[in-house]
């Protein structure tokens, strides 16, 4: 019986809010994975505090001769202690109020494992080339699936897929779910965050795990799979992507065909359009400099092109960012030195 773990920042964020720990003893193995939330710094603190507390309590109390029921009680107790630690840490600093984290853990011996979870981080059992989800997501989309409103496949791309109904930290008395899973030779348990779940299907996850010659290789394959499956979105939104070319060229062609300066005459509609374009062009360099900061600020508050369906989010955010950046550039143009060198 052996275990390993890996994490990756992925393609969407600049910071990694996931934290994990794996510890293997002579007879028992302990693993825990947390995915933080509550802003860049708050999410990282929440997941780190939860993992550190869970592992600290486990090391202090676990015994090799514990029964399955005793391990279940111990694991639930350690999750509760982790919840209290995150909750109290948030009370110490108003900036971190409301921060939280998901958690999924496994305490395993040769014949069984005790799995606990809060939030939408998952545990899977892979046995004989088939995959079974052990945990139950505490999320809005899971409720919709259970009520028959959407399918499990639709849940993966639903605009509210990131909304969870239970987490460590926000509520002082949050309870976890606990499961006992029997083991047979060759079985594997996978703990993962939603970063994998929303980019790959269960069958794809199963194939990647089974294809790897080692646990480390399987994890590398899973990370590569998540990045590859997420790549269309990431490529679509990145500055150096083909999408920039595909959107910029039509805009350029339109401007050349319909905003031909030599054909404008004073007083006609085109002249008015020209005046408007000239006014905007005064702020274009300022918009170029400012807009990345506007995007970063929105992402800090969890607002990005993944907040809802890309068909709506991309144009809406593009217009919003452009408008805000133009307004900031216009205000900055009133500063003499800025107006002289940048406008």
Residues 298, 220 share a domain? no
pLDDT for res 156: 79
Range of the domain at 159: 18-230
C-beta contacts of 293-300 below 8 A and 24+ residues apart: 294/321, 294/324, 294/325, 294/328, 295/321, 299/13, 300/39, 300/40
Low-confidence ranges of the chain (pLDDT < 50): 231-241
pLDDT for res 15: 73
Residues 205, 110 share a domain? yes
Question: Could you tell me if residue 98 is inside a domain?
Answer: yes
pLDDT for res 160: 80
* C-alpha span between 134 and 181 (Å, rounded): 8
Question: Could you tell me if residue 6 is inside a domain?
Answer: no
Residues 170, 120 share a domain? yes
Residues 179, 114 share a domain? yes
Residues 35, 128 share a domain? yes
Q: Which of 198, 204, 194, 59 is nearest to 135 (CA)?
A: 194
pLDDT for res 231: 44
| Domain count for the chain | 2
pLDDT for res 98: 81
- Please state the pTM of the whole predicted model: 0.68
The pair of structure tokens assigned to 46 is 């929440």
């Amino acid at each position: 019986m052996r275990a390993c773990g890996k994490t990756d920042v992925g393609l969407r964020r600049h910071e990694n809010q996931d934290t994990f720990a794996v510890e293997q003893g002579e007879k028992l193995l302990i693993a825990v994975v947390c995915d933080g939330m509550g802003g860049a710094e708050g999410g990282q603190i929440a997941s780190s505090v939860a993992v550190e507390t869970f592992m600290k309590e486990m090391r202090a109390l676990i015994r090799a001769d514990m029964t399955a029921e005793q391990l279940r009680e111990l694991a639930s107790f350690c999750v509760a202690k982790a919840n209290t630690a995150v909750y109290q840490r948030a009370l110490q600093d108003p900036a971190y109020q409301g921060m939280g984290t998901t958690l999924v853990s496994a305490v395993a011996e040769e014949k069984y494992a005790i799995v606990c979870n809060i939030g939408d981080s998952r545990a899977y059992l892979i046995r004989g080339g088939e995959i079974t989800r052990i945990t139950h997501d505490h999320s809005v989309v899971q409720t919709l699936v259970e009520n028959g409103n959407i399918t499990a496949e639709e849940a993966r791309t639903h605009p509210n897929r990131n909304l969870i109904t239970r987490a460590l930290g926000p509520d002082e008395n949050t309870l976890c779910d606990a499961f006992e899973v029997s083991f047979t030779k060759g079985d594997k348990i996978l703990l993962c965050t939603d970063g994998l779940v929303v980019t790959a299907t269960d069958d794809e996850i199963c194939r990647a795990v089974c294809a790897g010659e080692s646990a480390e290789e399987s994890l590398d394959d899973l990370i590569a799979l998540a990045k590859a499956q997420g790549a269309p979105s990431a490529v679509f939104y990145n500055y150096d992507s083909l999408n920039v070319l595909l959107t910029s060229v039509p805009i350029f062609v339109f401007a050349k065909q319909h905003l031909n300066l030599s054909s404008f005459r004073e007083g006609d509609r085109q002249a008015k359009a020209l005046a408007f374009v000239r006014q905007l062009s005064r702020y274009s360099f300022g918009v170029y400099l400012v807009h990345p900061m506007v995007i970063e600020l929105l992402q800090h508050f969890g607002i990005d092109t993944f907040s809802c369906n890309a068909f709506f989010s991309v144009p809406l955010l593009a217009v919003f960012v452009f408008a805000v950046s133009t307004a900031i550039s216009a205000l900055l143009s009133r500063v003499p030195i800025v107006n002289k060198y940048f406008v």
